[in-house]
């Protein structure tokens, strides 16, 4: 049942006392003493039998094992909280890229780069990124804008860029040999078009794409409508891009515990723009709140529907509003559980919706880790 290899890698990890969030103390009063918090004094040490003079008997190993499992789980959560204070991995994707304006055209510059990407602490993969980021920089424009994207290929293989979801002239669609020649190593290509349709769109490689997209050549291209009055009101916005396979299970280029929490105040409306750029299905389950899904691929979902688990197939994008009505730390993870947890704790497609109220402040919690 247990992966010894992964386990041994983590051996020696001793859980510091877990910080207990202010709002969470209530749980303790339900705890029977037998099942109470693990603190280091209460945890049976390895040689607990009276008079034991030698190495633990084989039969004792399982007891050791569950304690280590729990310590690993705890360490992951503590690391995740530390991530919310300061990044625990190198490299941050999805930095907003402000265009420069040239003769009324919004101009973006993208490079296609080899990058060593730290997916989670210590796990560094040979990857590829636009502007050395995974996901690439987030681009934004409005319907009616003229945009130009200068793309420079720094790889040792060809590439191209497809503007996934945007209606563009065929010659700008980015499919090698159908609409353009690939951008050869060292080469460049200029994409230019007028923005026609709003939505949570994407851009990604369309050459050797099962490899290149999976290794990181993807990003968000958010198109705002000219008339924003019909788009729902929201207080906060998060873009969540799922990927899997070659770089492991990631949200916005990082696997738990290096994922970013979603933070909101009680009562706020939190917009999520979901994008699945992976090769698998990831039904994302939100604890303690619901999602109101109102847009798919930039087109209306009528009427909007409410759910607690949302399935965004590869290539689709869904916009939804979370109503953050209850304070606390709410797990938010893929319900294909093998994408989210193993015997060493949470990993991969896991984050948290942290909802603050007058009694629970994220800053207070983070001050304890």
Q: Which of residues 234-263 bind its own copies (CB under 8 A)?
A: 245
Please say which residue, 1 or 53, places its beta carbon nearer to its own copies: 1
What six digits make up the tokens of 246? 């070659």
CB 22 within 8 A of CB 356: no
Nearer to its own copies, 147 or 183 (CB): 183
CA distance 61 to 70: 15
CA angle 20, 23, 25 (to 5 degrees): 55
- Mark the segment that binds its own copies (CB under 8 A) among 66-74, 87-95, 96-104, 131-139: 66-74
Q: 11 or 167, CB closer to its own copies?
A: 167
Which residues, at least 6 apart from 40, have a Cβ–Cβ distance to it below 8 Å? Answer: 14, 15, 17
CB–CB of 146/101 below 8 Å?
Answer: no
CB atoms within 10 A of CB 22: 14
If one asks whether residue 111 binds its own copies (CB under 8 A), the answer comes out as: no
User: Should residue 125 be labelled a site residue for its own copies when binding is judged by CB under 8 A?
Assistant: no
Identify which of residues 92 and 196 has a Cβ nearer to its own copies in the complex.
196
Burial of 61 (0-12, 13-18, 19+ CB in 10 A): exposed
Q: Is 214 in the site for its own copies (CB under 8 A)?
A: yes
Assess 41 for contact with its own copies (CB under 8 A): no
Nearest distance, CB of residue 15 and its own copies, angstroms:
9
Four-residue CA torsion sign, 276, 281, 283, 284: negative
Q: Kind of pairing, strands 262-265 and 350-356?
A: parallel
Among 64, 300, 363, 367, binds its own copies (CB under 8 A): 300
By C-beta, is 144 or 313 nearer to its own copies? 313
C-beta separation of 274 from 283 below 8 A: no
Q: Tell me: does residue 35 bind its own copies (CB under 8 A).
A: yes
Decide: is 66 part of the binding site for its own copies (CB under 8 A). yes
Is position 154 an interface residue for its own copies (rule: CB under 8 A)?
Answer: no
Q: Is 349 in the site for its own copies (CB under 8 A)?
A: no
14 touching its own copies, by CB under 8 A: no
CB nearer to its own copies: pick between 121 and 314: 314
Q: Cα–Cα distance between 270 and 236 in angstroms, integer?
A: 5
- Answer yes or no whether residue 281 interacts with its own copies by CB under 8 A: yes
369 binds its own copies (CB under 8 A): no
79 scored as a contact of its own copies (CB under 8 A): no
Q: Are 89 and 253 in contact (CB under 8 A)?
A: no
Using alpha carbons, select from 256, 235, 234, 262 the residue that is nearest to residue 362: 262
Q: What is the DSSP letter of 246?
A: G
Stretch that binds its own copies, among 114-122, 130-138, 248-256, 330-338 (CB under 8 A): 330-338
Structure tokens at 291: 């999602």
Which lies closer to its own copies via its Cβ, residue 105 or residue 307?
A: 307
Please report whether residue 326 would count as binding its own copies according to CB under 8 A. Answer: yes
Binder to its own copies among 112, 141, 183, 270 (CB under 8 A)? 183
If binding means CB under 8 A, how many residues of this protein chain bind its own copies? Answer: 108
Residue with Cβ nearer its own copies (15 or 96): 15
Centre a 10 Å sphere on the Cβ of residue 14 and count the other Cβ atoms it contains.
11
């Amino acid at each position: 049942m247990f992966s010894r290899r992964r386990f041994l890698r983590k051996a020696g990890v001793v859980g510091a006392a877990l910080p207990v969030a202010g709002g969470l103390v209530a749980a303790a009063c339900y705890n029977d003493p037998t099942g109470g918090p693990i603190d280091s004094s209460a945890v049976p040490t390895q040689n607990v039998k009276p008079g034991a003079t030698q190495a633990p008997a084989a039969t004792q190993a399982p007891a050791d094992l569950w304690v280590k499992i729990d310590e690993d789980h705890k360490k992951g959560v503590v690391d995740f909280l530390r991530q919310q204070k300061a990044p625990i991995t190198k490299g941050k994707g999805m930095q907003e890229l402000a265009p420069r304006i040239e003769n009324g055209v919004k101009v973006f510059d993208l490079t296609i780069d080899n990058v060593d990407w730290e997916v989670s602490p210590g796990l560094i993969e040979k990857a590829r990124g636009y502007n050395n980021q995974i996901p690439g920089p987030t681009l934004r424009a409005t319907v009616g804008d003229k945009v130009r994207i200068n793309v420079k290929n720094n790889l040792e293989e060809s590439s191209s860029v497809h503007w996934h979801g945007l209606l563009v002239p065929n010659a700008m669609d980015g499919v090698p040999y159908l609409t353009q020649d690939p951008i050869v190593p060292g080469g460049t290509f200029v994409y230019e078009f007028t923005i026609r349709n709003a939505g949570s769109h994407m851009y990604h490689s369309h050459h050797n794409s099962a490899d290149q997209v999976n290794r990181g050549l993807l990003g968000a291209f958010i198109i705002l409508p000219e008339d924003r009055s019909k788009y729902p009101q929201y207080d906060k916005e998060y873009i969540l891009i799922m990927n899997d396979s070659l770089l492991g299970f990631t949200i916005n280029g990082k696997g738990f515990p290096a994922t970013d929490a979603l933070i909101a105040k009680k009562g706020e409306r939190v917009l999520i723009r979901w994008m699945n750029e992976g090769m698998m299905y990831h039904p994302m389950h939100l604890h303690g709140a619901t999602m109101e899904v109102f847009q798919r691929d930039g087109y209306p979902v009528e009427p909007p529907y409410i759910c607690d688990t949302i399935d965004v197939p590869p290539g689709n994008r869904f916009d939804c509003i979370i109503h953050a009505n209850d304070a606390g730390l709410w797990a938010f993870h893929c319900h294909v559980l093998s994408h989210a947890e193993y015997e060493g704790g949470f990993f991969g497609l896991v984050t948290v919706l942290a909802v603050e109220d007058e009694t629970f402040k994220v800053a207070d919690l983070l001050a304890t880790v």
